Amino acid sequence: MTRVFKFGGALMKDAEGIEKVASIIKQYQHDQLVVVVSAIGKTTNALEELVRFKLGDDYANIEKTFIQIRRTHFELAESVFGNASHEIYDKLNAMFTDLNNELKKEFNDRFFAYDQIVSFGERLSSLILNSYLNENGFPIRTMNAASLIVTNENYTAAKVDWESTDKAIKTKLLTALEKNEIVLTQGFTGADQFGNNTTLGREGSDFSAAIIANILDADEVTIWKNVPGLMNADPHRFNDTIKLNKISYHEAIELAFYGASVIHPKTIQPVQQKNIPLFVRSFNDPESAPSVISDDTSEDDQFQKIIVKDDQVLLSIGSRDLAFIAEENLTRIFEAFSKQKIHVNLMQHSAVSFSVCFNEDGAKLQALVKELREEFQLKYNSGLQLITIRFYDDEIINKLTEGKKVFLEQKSRTTVQLLVR
Ligand code: ASP
Ligand code: MG
């Protein structure tokens, strides 16, 4: 039996969480087990801030943020290992020295800078978990994702080089599993052919687990979460949510595509290709039934599912002379989006304008506007919310848009998307 487990960083934020991760691993330690972790708590967000300050030469904030990230990890280590001298502190210090050195470098590619800095989050969390498991007698072997997941050089959204990754995983990781070692590795990250760190896109740790499972032909992937399983809507926003016991790969891809944060969009394909079931299980109640994602479509249309994305921008692009926006303009517009690596969530074409909705990201928006401003007339609304409903009816649309202004609406047979404020 080969299993790939992914533990999110929210689960490992204190000593109790780390102990619980260990107790789950213990239950399955006699199987071939790969453990993928992401960065602790909000570390990735803090590292993103650090990149922003670094690129803006904002030294005061670089220092402040660095200290804060360092403190979070030392506090976690202290809660796990106590105050006495312990090898973990030297190891953490060494890693923070590396991060500090990284921050002193000159970068001329902001995407490259991002990957070199943000990838520290997963290295730090795996370092702490490795020490704990090691100390508690687990046959743990930590392998750097940079030596397993080989990607291209599309920094911040690197594409997996499947052939090289296959080779790396089969020669290194599989060998360790065959020696009955439990392999621990970092999610979300990899390296290009030159050994530079790369990242796979935010929330990409699930994807890492799926890549490894695909190559190992694993029997299952389990994503441990601090929610009971896959829910039909975010329980933090809605109070009558229900747990989905099973959904198909196809439905999961749809949900992820529309932004369901519980699952990374790229995660499904690698497991679907090998028909590997994906379990979403409750970390707090490990014995409860998981949500199962498999080829079983029987319950897909049984429940309405709602996905809400905040902080959306709607950019309306018109031509300067009020002419139609036609194919040749669209090519230009899409080129600009692709260059700024902006993912389009929704778009609509009318006679004199082309409207595009995407996640608000100040730096990217600025760069985009700068690029399009000369050729086009731009108008934008920000602070919008994008609501997607699978298997909608009028009742739910009315309920969710009550008292709100609808900026854009798009319907297909099974899905409606509403951009509101
Ligand atoms: N730590 C990364 C992020 O927050 C990857 C992940 O959590 O899956 O985006
Ligand atoms: Mg994370």
Residue 111 domain boundaries: 2-218
Cβ(17) – ligand 1 distance below 6 Å: no
Q: Are residues 209 and 353 in the same domain?
A: no
Strand bridging mode 353-359 / 305-319: antiparallel
266 located within any domain: no
Whether residue 290 is predicted with pLDDT greater than 90 in this model: the reply is yes
Task: Please state, for a pLDDT cut of 90, what percent of the chain lies above it.
Answer: 89
Spell out the residues 6+ positions from residue 158 whose beta carbon is closer than 8 angstroms to its own: 115, 151, 152, 190, 192, 198, 199, 200
267 located within any domain: no
pLDDT tens column, 99-128: 999 999 999 999 999 999 999 999 999 999
- Whose CA is closest to atom 2 on ligand 1? 203
Instruction: Compute the average pLDDT of residues 402-407.
Output: 96
Last residue of a domain, one of 193, 218, 243: 218
270 located within any domain: no
272 located within any domain: no
CATH number, domain with residue 172? 3.40.1160.10
Q: Which atom of ligand 1 is nearest to the CA of 202?
A: 9
Q: Which atom of ligand 1 is nearest to the CA of 201?
A: 9
Last residue of a domain, one of 218, 252, 275: 218
291 located within any domain: no
Q: Which atom of ligand 1 is nearest to the CA of 204?
A: 8
Instruction: Compute the average pLDDT of residues 123-136.
Output: 98
- Look over the chain and give the mean of its residue pLDDT values, rounded to a whole number: 95
278 located within any domain: no
Q: Are residues 208 and 310 in the same domain?
A: no
232 located within any domain: no
Last residue of a domain, one of 167, 198, 218: 218
Q: Are residues 63 and 194 in the same domain?
A: yes
Provide the pLDDT for residue 338: 94
Q: Are residues 21 and 161 in the same domain?
A: yes
- The bound ligand whose nearest atom lies closest to the alpha carbon of 264 is 1
Q: Are residues 335 and 186 in the same domain?
A: no
Q: Are residues 214 and 309 in the same domain?
A: no
Distance 259 CA to ligand 1 centre (A): 15
pTM comes to 0.87
Q: Are residues 319 and 189 in the same domain?
A: no
378 located within any domain: yes
Q: Are residues 184 and 310 in the same domain?
A: no
Name the nearest CA neighbour of 76 among 132, 128, 25, 130. Answer: 128
Domain count within the chain: 2
Q: Are residues 214 and 316 in the same domain?
A: no
Distance 205 CA to ligand 2 centre (A): 8
Q: Are residues 195 and 316 in the same domain?
A: no
CATH number, domain with residue 377? 3.30.2130.10
pLDDT tens column, 291-300: 999 999 999 9
